[in-house]
Protein backbone atom coordinates (compact mmCIF):
# COMPACT_ATOMS: atom_id res chain seq x y z
CA UNK A 1 0.00 0.00 0.00
CA UNK A 2 1.16 3.53 -0.80
CA UNK A 3 1.04 5.56 2.40
CA UNK A 4 1.16 8.94 0.64
CA UNK A 5 -1.80 11.09 1.67
CA UNK A 6 -2.70 13.84 -0.84
CA UNK A 7 -2.99 17.45 0.26
CA UNK A 8 -5.23 20.10 -1.30
CA UNK A 9 -5.08 23.84 -0.76
CA UNK A 10 -8.67 25.05 -0.67
CA UNK A 11 -8.67 28.76 -1.48
CA UNK A 12 -10.96 31.31 0.13
CA UNK A 13 -12.82 33.11 -2.67
CA UNK A 14 -15.51 35.62 -1.66
CA UNK A 15 -18.50 34.95 -3.90
CA UNK A 16 -22.29 34.89 -3.84
CA UNK A 17 -23.15 31.18 -3.83
CA UNK A 18 -26.51 31.94 -5.42
CA UNK A 19 -24.74 32.98 -8.63
CA UNK A 20 -22.43 29.99 -9.05
CA UNK A 21 -21.82 28.73 -12.57
CA UNK A 22 -21.31 25.04 -13.33
CA UNK A 23 -18.41 25.70 -15.69
CA UNK A 24 -14.83 25.32 -14.46
CA UNK A 25 -13.84 28.08 -16.91
CA UNK A 26 -15.94 30.64 -15.04
CA UNK A 27 -15.14 32.60 -11.88
CA UNK A 28 -14.68 31.51 -9.13
CA UNK A 29 -13.93 27.96 -10.28
CA UNK A 30 -11.12 29.17 -12.54
CA UNK A 31 -9.31 30.41 -9.43
CA UNK A 32 -9.63 27.08 -7.61
CA UNK A 33 -6.86 24.49 -7.92
CA UNK A 34 -8.05 21.49 -9.98
CA UNK A 35 -7.82 17.91 -8.81
CA UNK A 36 -7.03 16.60 -12.27
CA UNK A 37 -7.91 12.94 -11.95
CA UNK A 38 -9.38 10.31 -9.67
CA UNK A 39 -7.72 6.97 -8.90
CA UNK A 40 -9.45 3.60 -8.71
CA UNK A 41 -10.33 2.71 -5.13
CA UNK A 42 -7.86 -0.18 -5.12
CA UNK A 43 -5.06 2.22 -6.11
CA UNK A 44 -4.11 0.21 -9.19
CA UNK A 45 -4.57 2.89 -11.87
CA UNK A 46 -6.39 6.08 -12.82
CA UNK A 47 -10.11 5.61 -13.37
CA UNK A 48 -11.19 4.91 -16.95
CA UNK A 49 -14.24 7.17 -16.67
CA UNK A 50 -12.45 10.13 -15.23
CA UNK A 51 -13.52 12.76 -12.72
CA UNK A 52 -11.94 16.10 -11.97
CA UNK A 53 -12.88 18.43 -9.13
CA UNK A 54 -12.28 21.92 -7.74
CA UNK A 55 -12.99 23.32 -4.27
CA UNK A 56 -13.15 26.73 -2.67
CA UNK A 57 -14.56 28.19 0.53
CA UNK A 58 -16.07 31.44 1.74
CA UNK A 59 -17.71 32.65 4.93
CA UNK A 60 -20.75 30.47 4.22
CA UNK A 61 -19.36 27.05 3.36
CA UNK A 62 -17.26 24.79 1.13
CA UNK A 63 -18.12 24.42 -2.54
CA UNK A 64 -17.09 21.60 -4.90
CA UNK A 65 -17.49 21.26 -8.66
CA UNK A 66 -17.17 17.81 -10.24
CA UNK A 67 -16.71 17.05 -13.97
CA UNK A 68 -17.58 13.40 -14.66
CA UNK A 69 -16.88 11.62 -17.94
CA UNK A 70 -19.84 9.29 -18.40
CA UNK A 71 -21.12 7.70 -21.65
CA UNK A 72 -24.32 6.50 -19.96
CA UNK A 73 -25.80 8.74 -17.26
CA UNK A 74 -28.64 7.30 -15.23
CA UNK A 75 -30.44 7.31 -11.90
CA UNK A 76 -33.81 6.27 -10.50
CA UNK A 77 -34.02 7.74 -6.99
CA UNK A 78 -36.08 10.94 -6.83
CA UNK A 79 -36.14 11.81 -3.11
CA UNK A 80 -33.36 13.28 -0.99
CA UNK A 81 -31.66 10.93 1.49
CA UNK A 82 -32.67 7.82 -0.41
CA UNK A 83 -29.72 5.39 -0.91
CA UNK A 84 -28.39 7.10 -4.02
CA UNK A 85 -24.98 5.55 -3.28
CA UNK A 86 -26.43 2.36 -4.79
CA UNK A 87 -26.52 4.15 -8.15
CA UNK A 88 -24.37 6.84 -9.80
CA UNK A 89 -23.10 9.62 -7.51
CA UNK A 90 -20.27 11.90 -6.56
CA UNK A 91 -19.47 12.21 -2.87
CA UNK A 92 -17.42 14.12 -0.34
CA UNK A 93 -16.59 13.02 3.20
CA UNK A 94 -15.49 15.75 5.61
CA UNK A 95 -13.76 15.01 8.91
CA UNK A 96 -13.09 18.38 10.60
CA UNK A 97 -12.66 16.73 14.03
CA UNK A 98 -10.56 13.56 13.62
CA UNK A 99 -10.55 13.08 17.40
CA UNK A 100 -14.34 12.61 17.36
CA UNK A 101 -16.18 9.35 16.66
CA UNK A 102 -18.02 10.67 13.60
CA UNK A 103 -17.61 12.46 10.27
CA UNK A 104 -19.90 13.81 7.53
CA UNK A 105 -20.98 12.39 4.17
CA UNK A 106 -22.55 14.37 1.31
CA UNK A 107 -23.58 13.07 -2.11
CA UNK A 108 -25.36 14.17 -5.27
CA UNK A 109 -26.70 12.13 -8.20
CA UNK A 110 -27.07 13.10 -11.88
CA UNK A 111 -30.75 13.77 -11.11
CA UNK A 112 -29.74 16.37 -8.48
CA UNK A 113 -30.94 14.11 -5.68
CA UNK A 114 -28.94 14.66 -2.49
CA UNK A 115 -27.80 12.61 0.49
CA UNK A 116 -26.38 14.07 3.70
CA UNK A 117 -25.56 12.25 6.93
CA UNK A 118 -23.42 12.04 10.03
CA UNK A 119 -21.46 8.78 9.99
CA UNK A 120 -20.25 6.77 12.96
CA UNK A 121 -16.52 6.27 12.50
CA UNK A 122 -15.74 2.59 11.81
CA UNK A 123 -13.81 0.80 14.53
CA UNK A 124 -12.92 -2.85 13.93
CA UNK A 125 -14.75 -5.12 14.07
CA UNK A 126 -17.69 -2.68 13.79
CA UNK A 127 -18.31 -1.02 10.40
CA UNK A 128 -19.43 2.55 9.80
CA UNK A 129 -23.11 3.36 10.27
CA UNK A 130 -25.43 6.29 9.72
CA UNK A 131 -26.01 8.20 12.96
CA UNK A 132 -28.31 10.86 11.55
CA UNK A 133 -29.56 12.04 8.17
CA UNK A 134 -29.24 15.79 7.66
CA UNK A 135 -31.45 18.41 5.99
CA UNK A 136 -30.50 18.29 2.30
CA UNK A 137 -32.51 21.45 1.72
CA UNK A 138 -29.61 23.40 3.23
CA UNK A 139 -27.20 22.16 0.55
CA UNK A 140 -26.43 24.32 -2.49
CA UNK A 141 -26.50 22.03 -5.52
CA UNK A 142 -26.82 21.94 -9.28
CA UNK A 143 -26.38 19.41 -12.07
CA UNK A 144 -25.86 19.54 -15.84
CA UNK A 145 -26.04 16.33 -17.87
CA UNK A 146 -24.95 15.37 -21.39
CA UNK A 147 -22.41 18.20 -21.57
CA UNK A 148 -19.05 18.41 -23.34
CA UNK A 149 -16.40 18.44 -20.62
CA UNK A 150 -13.53 19.92 -22.62
CA UNK A 151 -12.70 21.78 -25.82
CA UNK A 152 -10.43 18.99 -27.07
CA UNK A 153 -11.09 17.21 -30.36
CA UNK A 154 -12.52 14.20 -28.53
CA UNK A 155 -14.86 16.37 -26.42
CA UNK A 156 -15.79 13.71 -23.84
CA UNK A 157 -19.40 13.85 -22.70
CA UNK A 158 -20.62 13.51 -19.17
CA UNK A 159 -22.18 15.41 -16.29
CA UNK A 160 -21.27 18.21 -13.93
CA UNK A 161 -22.31 18.58 -10.32
CA UNK A 162 -22.10 21.43 -7.84
CA UNK A 163 -22.14 20.51 -4.17
CA UNK A 164 -22.05 23.33 -1.64
CA UNK A 165 -21.98 22.47 2.06
CA UNK A 166 -22.83 25.27 4.52
CA UNK A 167 -20.74 25.24 7.66
CA UNK A 168 -23.93 25.01 9.73
CA UNK A 169 -24.48 21.47 8.36
CA UNK A 170 -21.03 20.65 9.74
CA UNK A 171 -22.20 21.93 13.12
CA UNK A 172 -19.81 24.87 13.07
CA UNK A 173 -20.73 28.30 14.38
CA UNK A 174 -17.93 29.99 12.42
CA UNK A 175 -15.94 29.23 9.27
CA UNK A 176 -12.45 27.76 9.55
CA UNK A 177 -9.44 30.03 9.74
CA UNK A 178 -6.72 30.21 7.13
CA UNK A 179 -4.22 27.49 7.97
CA UNK A 180 -6.79 25.09 9.42
CA UNK A 181 -6.57 21.55 8.04
CA UNK A 182 -9.43 19.06 7.77
CA UNK A 183 -9.35 15.43 6.73
CA UNK A 184 -11.62 14.43 3.86
CA UNK A 185 -11.99 12.61 0.57
CA UNK A 186 -13.80 12.92 -2.75
CA UNK A 187 -15.35 9.92 -4.47
CA UNK A 188 -17.30 8.85 -7.52
CA UNK A 189 -19.41 5.78 -8.22
CA UNK A 190 -20.17 5.04 -11.89
CA UNK A 191 -22.32 2.00 -12.56
CA UNK A 192 -23.40 -0.27 -15.39
CA UNK A 193 -26.89 0.70 -16.61
CA UNK A 194 -29.39 -1.65 -14.91
CA UNK A 195 -31.41 -2.20 -18.09
CA UNK A 196 -28.37 -3.03 -20.23
CA UNK A 197 -26.98 -6.36 -18.93
CA UNK A 198 -24.81 -6.76 -22.03
CA UNK A 199 -23.26 -3.31 -21.75
CA UNK A 200 -19.44 -3.27 -21.91
CA UNK A 201 -19.49 -0.79 -19.04
CA UNK A 202 -18.73 -2.01 -15.53
CA UNK A 203 -19.08 -0.54 -12.06
CA UNK A 204 -16.19 1.78 -11.28
CA UNK A 205 -15.28 3.25 -7.88
CA UNK A 206 -12.76 6.07 -7.84
CA UNK A 207 -11.31 8.54 -5.33
CA UNK A 208 -9.10 11.55 -4.87
CA UNK A 209 -7.21 9.59 -2.19
CA UNK A 210 -7.43 5.86 -2.99
CA UNK A 211 -8.51 3.63 -0.12
CA UNK A 212 -6.59 0.55 -1.37
CA UNK A 213 -9.59 -1.71 -0.91
CA UNK A 214 -10.98 -4.52 -3.07
CA UNK A 215 -13.91 -4.69 -3.19
CA UNK A 216 -14.07 -0.92 -3.00
CA UNK A 217 -14.77 0.58 0.43
CA UNK A 218 -14.88 4.34 0.85
CA UNK A 219 -15.30 4.56 4.63
CA UNK A 220 -11.59 4.48 5.43
CA UNK A 221 -10.86 7.62 7.49
CA UNK A 222 -7.17 6.73 7.73
CA UNK A 223 -7.00 7.31 3.95
CA UNK A 224 -8.73 10.70 4.00
CA UNK A 225 -6.66 13.40 2.35
CA UNK A 226 -5.60 16.71 3.92
CA UNK A 227 -7.65 19.80 3.01
CA UNK A 228 -5.88 23.02 3.98
CA UNK A 229 -7.91 26.23 4.06
CA UNK A 230 -5.90 29.11 2.59
CA UNK A 231 -6.52 32.76 1.76
pLDDT at 229 > cutoff 80: yes
When pLDDT is averaged across residues 85-112 and rounded to a whole number, the result is 98
Confidence of residue 152 (pLDDT cuts 50, 70, 90): low
Task: Return the CATH fold of 7-230.
Answer: Immunoglobulin-like (2.60.40)
Please tell me which residue, 223 or 150, carries the higher pLDDT value: 223
CB contact at 8 A, 43 and 210: yes
Residues 75 and 58: their CA atoms lie apart, in Å, by 31
Per DSSP, the three-state class of 31 is helix
pTM of the model: 0.94
What are the angstrom distances between the C-alpha of 120 and each of 123, 129, 153, 227?
Answer: 9, 5, 45, 21
pLDDT above 90 covers a percentage of the chain that reads: 84
Among 62-76, 103-117, 138-152, whose mean pLDDT is lowest? Answer: 138-152
The answer to whether residue 154 scores a pLDDT higher than 70 is: no
Q: What is the pLDDT of residues 195-209, one digit of tens each?
A: 877 778 899 999 999
Domain boundaries, the chain: 7-230
Amino acid sequence: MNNNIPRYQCARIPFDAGRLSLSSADFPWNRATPIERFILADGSAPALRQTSARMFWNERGVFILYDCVDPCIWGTYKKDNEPIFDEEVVEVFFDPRPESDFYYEFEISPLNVRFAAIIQRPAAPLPEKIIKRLDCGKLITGVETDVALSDSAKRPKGWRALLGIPFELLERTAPPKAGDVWRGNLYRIDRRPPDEPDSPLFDEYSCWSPTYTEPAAFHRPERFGLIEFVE
